Amino acid sequence: MEKIVVANRGEIAVRVIKTARKMGIKTVAVYSEVDRNAPHVKLADEAVCIGPPPSSESYLKGDVVIEVAKKLHADAIHPGYGFLSENAAFAEAVEKNGLIFIGPRPHAIRVMGSKLAAKEAVKKYNIPMVPGIDEAITDVEKAKQIAAEIGYPILIKASAGGGGKGMRVVESKEVLEEQMKRAISEATSAFGDGSVFIEKYVESPRHIEIQILADTQGNTVHLFERECSIQRRHQKVVEEAPSAILTPALREAMGQAAIKVAKACDYVGAGTVEFLLDEKNNFYFLEMNTRLQVEHPVTELITNLDLVEQQIKIANGESLAFSQEDLSIHGHALELRVYAEDPLNDFLPSVGTLEVYRPPSGEHIRVDDGFKEGMEIPIQYDPMLSKLITWGKTREEAIQLMIQAIQDFDVAGVQTTLPFGSFVFEHKAFRKGTFDTHFVKKYYTKKGDQQQVTAAAEVAAKVALHVHLQELKKLRLSK
């Protein structure tokens, strides 16, 4: 493999280009008109504009991306995450055009792209699943019957969904019909597929995912877990590895279950199997993401592996250079997704210009980003500016370094999730590891955040007063 087209933008495009360069592989960036001056465009060896700002007219134009790859004599296409990364038809078209798709085979993408098909595929492996129905449903009366059997609250989920779209929690039968209509409508609008299914709602879950790698020779390993329970609108904001609550036995059980899920769809490449963990530490299969995850850096830091490098090697036909027994956890890693959002206004996007953008640096601090100072935040795409990652020998050490790194992260011109990150990492529930996916709803309010800011200001004032009094004392003694 000598040249790769990176079919993405922002921090993940920069991330892939850096690893390819390290491996001696040339890169081609594709970009929309609004991204003409983006860092990934300047970093790549070659760059091609593929259309106007809307992703439907640029980054989602698979045929155009393939044409660029062929014209510039590239060997492969790396889709990153989002956009075309989980598009089975695109993966198929890449292969039909004699190119390498750096990701799983189309079959695996199709199976795991449907939550119902995924459940069906893993059934024979005896992997625990949340009680519910394994078929699409639109009949309200049948839905009421199923709900009565498994007990309220229930969760209505879009089969083709993700990111919280087409998802509704239903507390009673009185609101079931209305919530089903809303879920079907939202799923149809977001995915072009209104199929929904029903399962028991796990009330205080933790979101635990297992990273797997599988080569073309049949070798599959897991790279331990990531804790992804701090979420807003069912989307992750804070991730860590390893989880603060998994025992070695539970970690191994979940890891082996993830390997079985991968084998159920003949998986090849890097993928992530997601589970819900209830209050009694029972885990249930949720879904499989057939791509690189946004939060992959925390796994890299605790395993000392470059997951993009592994993806490229596997796509090139190489076998894994290590077995499960060779892998172990080193220290602890945390990640904060720095979004251009206003945490005190329901995390709504904050559009503007990065008047100041100065990320922190230092030992065990990593920043994956795709923006520079002076750039505008395009309204057409996901508002993530960067990912702030820290590593420590212990969880406490990683937390303290993260708190300091957030303080040193200087951004002006837009609101960001940095203050929210401070709130999370300083909160006693997070520090004790006693949190779940309802952290934001339970603890993060405008009042709560302001109280924390006020408390921090009071501490700073007391420190300043102490320093001032000490200086006065020194002056009196010197006279």
> What positions carry a catalytic annotation?
291
Q: How far apart are CA 287 and CA 299, in angstroms?
A: 19
Nearest CA-CA partner of 101 in 263, 294, 269, 320: 269
Q: How far apart are CA 431 and CA 238, in angstroms?
A: 13
- Cα distance from N-terminal residue to C-terminal residue, the chain: 75
Tally of CA atoms within 13 A in the half-sphere of 7 that contains its CB: 32
181 to each of 43, 137, 234, how far by Cα in Å? 47, 11, 20
Q: How far apart are CA 269 and CA 275, in angstroms?
A: 19
Q: Are 9 and 85 in contact (CB under 8 A)?
A: no
DSSP secondary structure string for all residues of 307-370? HHHHHHHHHTTPPPS--GGG----SEEEEEEEESEEGGGTTEE--SB-SEEE---STTEEEEE-
Nearest CA-CA partner of 456 in 388, 403, 402, 395: 403
Residues whose CB falls within 8 Å of the CB of residue 345, separated by 6 or more in sequence, listed in order: 415
Q: How far apart are CA 224 and CA 328, in angstroms?
A: 8
Nearest CA-CA partner of 211 in 329, 319, 120: 329
Residues whose CB falls within 8 Å of the CB of residue 77, separated by 6 or more in sequence, listed in order: 4, 5, 6, 7, 65, 66, 69, 94, 99, 100, 101, 102
Q: How far apart are CA 27 and CA 20, in angstroms?
A: 7
Q: How far apart are CA 143 and CA 116, in angstroms?
A: 16
Q: How far apart are CA 367 and CA 417, in angstroms?
A: 15
Q: How far apart are CA 102 and CA 371, in angstroms?
A: 25
- Whose tokens are 């993260």? That residue is 402
290 to each of 78, 88, 320, 355, how far by Cα in Å? 13, 10, 18, 37
Q: Are 14 and 43 in contact (CB under 8 A)?
A: yes
